[in-house]
Amino acid sequence: MPSRTAFITGASSGIGQAAAHQFAAAGFDLIISARRKPRIDELSRLLVEQYGVEVVALELDVRDQVAVQKSIGSLPKRWQAIDVLINNAGLSRGLVTIDEGLISDWDEMIDTNVKGLLYVSRAVTPLMVNNQAGHIINIGSIAGHEVYANGAVYCASKHAVAALTKGMRIDLCQHGVKVSTIDPGLVNTEFGNVRFHGDQQRADSTYNGMTPLSADDVAATILYMAQVPAHVNLAEVLLLPTDQAAATVVKRDN
């Protein structure tokens, strides 16, 4: 069977990086992207060495629509045959009430989580439509199902991802393109450090007395979703740690 190609955004850390390893281990050739070029270059080197797959590393800020279109549009033809797009790049900035939120944090979340996902999808979906095949897996969140205190804008951005997933599925069904979402609860990645503007102690305290998901837990679910039979669309997965029942209902030992 010819190898399949997956495109993972936000592959420089966390869920995206873990997915890159697991997809490569499963034999996928990969396009990996993020802003931190040294990280994706090193990841690319490792993936080629460890798994013998082919990898293209793109330095890409998903908020830059012109750059997104140009990078994807100028991929060699062989690399434009993208079987699986994993819209993973995303972030949360700040955890404060609406009256105290920083406009720059709001812009960054909406520009990345919503507009960035749209820009990448706009560049990739015509290629999938042309092939009359493909699979888009959006990384949503439990924050797309619930709203919690101090998180209005992040939750709004992930509610938007939930709506976009449904809308994209409706629009692309006629072209044989699957659209799915994986919506994790607490995952221990660099997410907390980014949310709290580099305050690692505060980030770590999120997981006090509980066992969060790992990036590998989520990556394994993404890979499973990408490998179900062609006629099956595993459309939505809410993936929680056993210690978490809802966004703010967490069993802690201390």
The C-alpha angle 60, 64, 67, rounded to 5 degrees, equals: 60
Laid out side by side, the sheet with 84-87 consists of 55-59, 29-34, 5-9, 84-87, 134-139, 177-184, 236-239
Identified binder of ligand NDP from the candidate list 4, 16, 44, 244, rule CB under 6 A:
16
The footprint of ligand NDP on residues 48-67 (CB under 6 A) is 60-63
SS3 183: strand
Least gap, CB of 174 to ligand NDP (angstroms): 28
Q: Does 47 bind ligand NDP (CB under 6 A)?
A: no
Contact flags string 148-177 toward ligand NDP, x per CB under 6 A? ------------------------------
Least gap, CB of 154 to ligand 8X3 (angstroms): 6
- Looking from the CA of 50 toward its CB, the CA atoms found within 13 Å total 14
Identify which of residues 92 and 125 has a Cβ nearer to ligand 8X3 in the complex: 92
Q: Does 143 bind ligand 8X3 (CB under 6 A)?
A: yes
Catalytic residue among 148, 154, 207, 224: 154
Q: Does 142 bind ligand 8X3 (CB under 6 A)?
A: yes
Q: Does 186 bind ligand NDP (CB under 6 A)?
A: yes
Give the tokens for residue 5. 């190609």
Q: Is 154 a catalytic residue?
A: yes
Stretch of residues binding ligand NDP (CB under 6 A), selected from 47-55, 78-86, 169-177, 188-196: 188-196
Q: DSSP string spanning 55-94?
A: EEEEE--TT-HHHHHHHHHTS-GGGG--SEEEE-------
Identify which of residues 132 and 205 has a Cβ nearer to ligand NDP in the complex: 205
Q: Residue 112: which of 166, 73, 149, 154 has the closest Cα?
A: 154
Q: Which residue blocks in 145-199 are alpha helix, DSSP H? A: 152-172, 191-195
Q: How far apart are CA 145 and CA 184, in angstroms?
A: 10
Stretch of residues binding ligand NDP (CB under 6 A), selected from 5-13, 22-30, 124-132, 164-172: 5-13
The footprint of ligand 8X3 on residues 166-185 (CB under 6 A) is 185
| Residue 247 touches which of ligand 8X3, ligand NDP, none (Cβ within 5-8 Å per kind) | ligand 8X3
CB 171 within 8 A of CB 156: no
Least gap, CB of 54 to ligand NDP (angstroms): 21
Only one residue has tokens 């972030």, namely 91
* Site of interaction with ligand 8X3 (CB under 6 A): 141-143, 185-186, 247
Residues annotated as catalytic are 154
